[in-house]
């Protein structure tokens, strides 16, 4: 751990406490200190002992070593812009937590994490789109970077974006919170999607966050993706267009829509395409309209369609596993955690914590039995 002075350490404790939404009094009660003592520690007036710091870290749900590490620059810039006394929202706090955990694993040099793949994005020299045509071109470029076919549905978007260094987590943070957020790391990035939304909206939000990542936006939290007018926030609107184009390639829709309508009528065509490309009806309707394949009236009708169980049976629709449902962690992150556990570089408890209860203790791989006289050192 690096050497920092008491004032800096106190500031980091204070920031972590605020992100955890815990008062000085409650923190003090949890670790056996008076509120005034906690205040002095956070002000740098009183030094904190190692045992006290360990207890504080445990209550705040962070690694003790994180107090001695320089935070992600994008998070520092974001917090500075919000003001020192502004508490982070739920999505801000979770993004900070996931960014910290990814950086922790990256610092241990685990190849499974795959952040080296982010280099391909930097080499692409991507310019943020300023027109719809440029947004469409960026979507095509993104598919090339992820080595995806130009017209095929993207089955597992979270896996595809991980292949270029963006790791997507999901958590249900409620209907009144943001849709998604992204933070750039020194290498790669971390994204969080609010899994309270249905799968089509989750995938659209993730595609939008991919746009921010490709355009090297340091920190972004997005609310109600794709619900704003095109002229409301120009860059956000271009990235909305990018997200739709990524999930619903123009060439595929131009080739399939009229053919499907002729064969299955309008509703049957919409249900099949929405299912094939794993988008919601609102996204499909807007995409068809912007490509000139439907008028406004037809788009409004499509937006109201719902896929029923009868549709799934009668149309023989494929129903894949829900993507980003509930609490999920990206595959490369999970594999990196398991590698560290197998190599006995982290403890069982730490591995389960990093895996966020997506695995239980019985799911963890077996490690070799240790002799009583062996001394083992784990990374905390």
At 171-207, the pLDDT tens digits run: 999 988 889 999 999 999 999 999 999 999 999 999 9
Provide the mean pLDDT of the chain: 88
Q: Work out the number of other CB atoms within 10 angstroms of the CB of residue 338.
A: 20
pLDDT at 80 over 90: no
Which parts of 35-176 fold into alpha helices (H)?
35-43, 50-60, 73-82, 90-107, 119-123, 132-145, 157-162
What gap in Å lies between CA 96 and CA 94, rounded to an integer?
5
Q: Are 331 and 342 in contact (CB under 8 A)?
A: no
3-state SS class at 360: coil
Q: How many angstroms from the chain centroid is the CA of residue 240?
A: 17
pLDDT in tens, 217-253: 888 888 777 766 655 568 899 999 999 999 999 999 9
pLDDT class of 379 with cuts at 50, 70, 90: very low
Q: Are 200 and 274 in contact (CB under 8 A)?
A: yes
Q: Are 168 and 329 in contact (CB under 8 A)?
A: no
3-state SS class at 33: coil
For the range 287-291, what are the long-range contacts, defined as Cβ-Cβ under 8 Å and sequence gap of 24 or more? 287/244, 287/245, 287/248, 287/253, 288/253, 288/257, 290/132, 290/241, 290/244, 291/250, 291/253, 291/254
CA distances from 247 to 190, 273, 280, 347 (A): 20, 11, 11, 40
Q: Work out the number of other CB atoms within 10 angstroms of the CB of residue 362.
A: 5
Among residues 280, 257, 287, 255, the alpha carbon closest in space to that of 139 is found at 287
pLDDT at 279 over 90: yes
Q: Are 206 and 97 in contact (CB under 8 A)?
A: no
3-state SS class at 72: coil
Q: Taking the CA atoms of 341, 345, 347 and 352 in sequence, report the sign of the dihedral they define.
A: negative
Class of the 1-69 domain? mainly alpha
Q: Are 41 and 13 in contact (CB under 8 A)?
A: yes
Position 297 scores a pLDDT of 95
Position 372 scores a pLDDT of 62
């Amino acid at each position: 751990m690096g050497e920092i002075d008491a004032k800096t350490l106190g500031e980091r404790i204070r920031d972590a406490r605020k992100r955890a939404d815990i008062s000085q009094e409650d923190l003090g009660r949890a670790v056996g200190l008076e509120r005034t003592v906690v205040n002095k520690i956070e002000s740098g007036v009183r030094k904190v002992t190692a045992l006290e710091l360990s207890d504080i870290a445990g209550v705040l749900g962070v690694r003790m070593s994180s107090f001695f590490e320089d935070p992600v620059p994008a998070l520092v810039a974001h917090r500075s812009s919000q003001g020192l006394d502004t508490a982070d929202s739920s999505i801000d706090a979770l993004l900070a937590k996931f960014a910290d955990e990814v950086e922790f694993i990256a610092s241990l040099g685990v190849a499974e994490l795959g952040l080296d793949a982010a280099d391909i994005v930097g080499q692409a020299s991507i310019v943020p789109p300023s027109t719809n045509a440029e947004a469409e071109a960026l979507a095509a470029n993104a598919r090339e970077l992820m080595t995806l076919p130009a017209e095929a549905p993207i089955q597992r978007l979270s896996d595809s974006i991980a292949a270029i260094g963006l790791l997507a987590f999901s958590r249900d943070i409620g209907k009144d919170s943001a849709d998604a957020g992204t933070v750039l790391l020194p290498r790669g990035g971390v994204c969080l999607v609010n899994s309270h939304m249905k799968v089509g909206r989750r995938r659209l939000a993730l595609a939008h966050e991919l746009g921010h990542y490709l355009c090297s936006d340091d920190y972004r939290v997005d609310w109600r993706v794709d619900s704003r007018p095109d002229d409301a926030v120009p860059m956000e609107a271009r990235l909305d267009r990018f997200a739709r184009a990524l999930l619903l390639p123009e060439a595929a829709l131009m080739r399939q829509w009229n053919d499907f309508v002729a064969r299955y009528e309008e509703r049957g065509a919409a249900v099949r395409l929405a299912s094939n490309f794993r988008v919601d009806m609102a996204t499909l309707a807007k995409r068809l309209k912007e490509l000139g394949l439907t008028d406004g009236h037809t788009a409004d009708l499509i937006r109201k369609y719902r896929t029923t169980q009868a549709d799934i049976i009668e149309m023989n629709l494929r129903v894949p596993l829900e993507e980003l449902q509930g609490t999920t962690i990206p595959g490369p992150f999970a594999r990196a955690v398991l590698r560290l556990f197998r190599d006995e570089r982290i403890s069982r408890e730490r591995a389960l914590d990093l895996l966020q209860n997506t695995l239980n203790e019985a799911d963890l791989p077996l490690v070799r039995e240790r002799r009583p006289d062996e001394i083992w050192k784990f990374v905390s």
